[in-house]
């Protein structure tokens, strides 16, 4: 029986009186590759933030390898959704990736050779060595997204959380990116929030649907009922050939 | 040209310019990249309350202003979170309150009313030796703190949320950063005055940012520019017999607008 990497137990999150997540239960096993889909505003980002320890749930508890997320160090590599970054910020790609090596226990201490090695490996994995000394503001959106993934990999995490990682990765790199994640899953647990259903069907092992409530049956199948609950309307679901079938026979 | 250096008050002014430049060059970079220019300006005006309180209590106004502005900096950070008020609104209120408190304390101070003008617009030519010692100690505290927390300051300035996922104590570190801003603001009050503090806290960093791509380079450039502005401004004010604080500020602003035509 593999270890439980993340355990979310009856978690609800309210913003003021608005319920964003309702009674979420989710168990993610070590080396799972879990995709979370759902409509905009369905609480996907909020759930990732709860797991990352950025947001305390109003009710319920979260355990990351048995500990509360704000007590677990070096377990989580977080790749935030692309926001509007400060393009004038005076930092190079290298500076940004190195910030992945910080932690509470590294406070005040200088980074060492092992830190630089881990950061360099993360850069290589995302094919960014050539851009190492470029200012972060000079990069394209897709390149910058790869820098944020490299920064999360530099943590050498046991769990990788990705929020819409392919939104700004250019199409050409898309397939490569998913294949890279697929290779990574032997080393770590991956939870990815995405709209890219065709990629999910090809690469992800398990799929959960989230729209305030979570629909998850620890498999890759989305039943018609799950789909209806989450998107609240009948959607034409294109089921590709059998190897990548997500949707049950219909 | 250099004969004016023989006066002791000029020597003190030059030392004050150098000590203040180190502080505002480094801390100004954090103020600019964290977009806390308004907060810093609020702290500097609130510090005036400390100056007034110092006179009222018969203590060194600068020392009281240090305690006062640090308390304000930490208070704004904490209160806007707890009260749920918008931070910039809280800053606006604190700003006015500090000035008002300062004016009332000075009015209530019996006997000779000190030269308010020099605290509002600065007078680097009247900096006493004792203040130079305070400035030196503040510089040392600041340099040590930045050296120890350089990578943490960079991480929370660039992406606070990500730093939080690494369990870096982001709140404590941003309070330390705000404390450094408060200390620097008080030093600058001596040199350019409450109203012109922002000239030295933002312009050197903003100009330096246009020509550098890493935080440390930006700091070095910013310290160099602060030195240029304060020393050349001081000399210009001596030659033209104009107020030093305003001369420094105008020189800095002129370089700022010129720099908009160059850089990256």
User: Does pLDDT of A157 surpass 90?
Assistant: yes
| Domain's final residue, options A124, A156, A188 | A156
| Mutation site, B151, B157, B204, B214, interface A, largest A CB count within 10 A | B151
Q: What is the CATH number of the domain that holds A26?
A: 3.40.50.300
Chains A, B: CB contacts within 8 A come to: 80
| Domain's final residue, options A110, A140, A156 | A156
Are A184 and A250 in a shared domain? Answer: yes
Q: Which of A76, A95, A108 sits opposite B214 (nearest CB)?
A: A95
Are A62 and A166 in a shared domain? Answer: yes
Confidence of residue A6 (pLDDT cuts 50, 70, 90): very high
Instruction: Give the tokens for residue A121.
Output: 């490996």
**DSSP secondary structure letter of residue B35:** T
d(CA B31, CA B177): 9
Are A12 and A116 in a shared domain? Answer: no
For the segment A118-146, the average pLDDT, to the nearest whole number, is 92
Are A68 and A127 in a shared domain? Answer: no
The total number of structural domains that make up chain A: 2
Confidence of residue A241 (pLDDT cuts 50, 70, 90): very low
Cβ neighbours, 10 Å, residue B172 = 11
Name the pairing type of β-strands A213-215 and A206-211.
Answer: antiparallel
Are A147 and A211 in a shared domain? Answer: no
The sign one gets for the Cα dihedral B170, B47, B67, B91 is negative
Q: Which of A90, A99, A111 sits opposite B212 (nearest CB)?
A: A90
User: Does pLDDT of A156 surpass 80?
Assistant: yes
Indicate the SS3 state at residue B167: coil
Whole-number pLDDT of residue A249: 53
The burial of A138, by beta-carbon neighbours within 10 Å (0-12 exposed, 13-18 middle, 19 or more buried), is given as middle
Contact B162 A78 (CB under 8 A): yes
Are A41 and A163 in a shared domain? Answer: yes
Whole-number pLDDT of residue B21: 96
CA dist B35 to B39, B72, B105, B144, B254, Å?
9, 18, 32, 23, 22
Ordered by where they begin, the domains of chain B are 10-259 (1.10.3470.10)
Are A201 and A100 in a shared domain? Answer: no
Average pLDDT, chain A: 85
Average pLDDT, chain B: 90
Are A102 and A203 in a shared domain? Answer: no
Helices B8-33/B170-192 angle, 10° precision: 150
Contact A102 B152 (CB under 8 A): yes
Are A208 and A236 in a shared domain? Answer: yes
Whole-number pLDDT of residue A39: 86
Contact A104 B167 (CB under 8 A): yes
Q: Which of A70, A99, A135 sits opposite B155 (nearest CB)?
A: A99
State the residue for tokens 């209530």: B108
HEC string of B47-115 equals HHHHHHHHHHHCCCHHHHHHHHHHHHHHHHHHHHHHHCCCHHHHHHHHHHHHHHHHHHHHHHCCCCCCC
User: Does pLDDT of A63 surpass 90?
Assistant: yes
Are A39 and A98 in a shared domain? Answer: no
Name the pairing type of β-strands A18-29 and A4-15.
Answer: antiparallel
CA dist B20 to B34, B131, B133, B150, Å?
21, 11, 12, 20
Residue A108 lies in domain: 83-156
Q: Which residues of B touch A89 (CB under 8 A)?
A: 33, 157-158
Are A68 and A147 in a shared domain? Answer: no
Instruction: Identify the contact set of chain B against chain A, taking CB-CB distances under 8 A.
Output: 29, 33, 148-149, 151-152, 154-155, 157-159, 161-169, 209, 212-215, 217-218, 264
Confidence of residue A242 (pLDDT cuts 50, 70, 90): very low
User: Does pLDDT of A7 surpass 90?
Assistant: yes
Contact B166 A73 (CB under 8 A): yes
User: Structure pTM?
Assistant: 0.90
The ipTM (two decimal places) reads 0.88
Instruction: Give the tokens for residue B193.
Output: 């005055």
The parts of chain B modelled with pLDDT lower than 50 are 264
pLDDT digits (tens, 9 = 90+) for A71-120: 878 899 999 987 666 778 999 999 999 999 999 989 989 999 999 999 99
Whole-number pLDDT of residue A203: 83
Q: Among residues A28, A85, A115, A21, which one has the least CA distance to residue B166?
A: A115
| Domain's final residue, options A127, A156, A185 | A156
Are A99 and A185 in a shared domain? Answer: no
């Amino acid at each position: 029986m593999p270890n439980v990497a993340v355990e979310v137990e009856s978690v609800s999150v309210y913003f003021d009186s608005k319920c964003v997540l309702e009674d979420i239960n989710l168990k993610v096993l070590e080396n799972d590759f879990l995709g979370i889909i759902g409509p905009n505003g369905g609480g996907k980002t909020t759930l990732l933030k709860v797991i990352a320890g950025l947001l305390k749930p109003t009710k319920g508890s979260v355990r990351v390898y048995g500990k509360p997320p704000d007590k677990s160090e070096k377990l989580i590599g977080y790749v935030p959704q692309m926001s509007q970054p400060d393009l004038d910020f005076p930092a190079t790609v290298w500076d940004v990736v190195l910030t992945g090596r910080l932690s509470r226990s590294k406070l005040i201490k200088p980074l060492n050779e092992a830190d630089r090695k881990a950061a360099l490996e993360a850069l290589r994995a995302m094919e960014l060595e050539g851009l190492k000394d470029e200012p972060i503001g000079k990069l394209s959106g897709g390149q910058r997204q790869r820098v944020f993934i490299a920064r999360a990999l530099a943590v050498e995490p046991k769990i990788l959380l990705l929020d819409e990682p392919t939104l700004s990765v250019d199409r050409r790199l898309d397939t490569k990116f998913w294949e890279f994640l697929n290779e990574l899953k032997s080393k770590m647990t991956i939870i990815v929030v995405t709209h890219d259903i065709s990629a999910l069907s090809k690469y992800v092992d398990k799929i959960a649907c989230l729209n305030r409530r979570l629909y998850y049956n620890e498999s890759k199948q989305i039943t018609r009922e799950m789909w209806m609950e989450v998107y609240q309307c009948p959607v034409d679901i294109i089921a590709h050939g059998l190897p990548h079938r997500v949707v049950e026979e219909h | 040209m250099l004969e004016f250096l023989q006066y002791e008050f000029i020597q003190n002014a030059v030392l004050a310019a150098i000590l203040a430049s180190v502080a505002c060059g480094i801390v100004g970079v954090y103020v600019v990249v964290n977009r806390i220019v308004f907060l810093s300006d609020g702290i500097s005006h609130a510090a005036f309350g400390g100056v007034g309180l110092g006179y009222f209590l018969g203590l060194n106004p600068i020392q009281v202003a240090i305690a006062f502005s640090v308390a304000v900096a930490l208070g704004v950070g904490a209160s806007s979170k707890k009260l749920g008020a918008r931070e910039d609104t809280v800053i606006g209120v604190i700003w006015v309150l500090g000035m008002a408190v300062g004016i009332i304390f000075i009015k209530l101070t019996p006997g000779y009313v000190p030269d308010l003008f020099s605290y509002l617009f600065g007078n680097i030519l009247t900096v006493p030796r004792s203040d130079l010692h305070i400035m030196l100690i503040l510089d040392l505290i600041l340099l040590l703190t930045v050296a120890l927390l350089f990578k943490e300051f960079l991480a929370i300035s660039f992406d606070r949320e990500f730093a939080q996922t690494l369990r870096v104590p982001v709140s404590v570190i941003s309070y330390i950063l705000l404390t450094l801003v408060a200390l620097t603001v008080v030093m600058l009050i001596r040199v350019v005055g409450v109203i012109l503090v922002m000239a030295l806290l933002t312009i050197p960093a903003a100009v330096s940012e246009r020509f550098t791509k890493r935080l440390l380079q930006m700091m070095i450039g910013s310290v160099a520019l602060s030195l240029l502005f304060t020393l050349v401004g001081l000399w210009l004010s001596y030659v033209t017999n104009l107020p030093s604080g305003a001369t420094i500020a105008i020189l800095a602003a002129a370089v700022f607008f010129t720099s908009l035509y160059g850089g990256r």
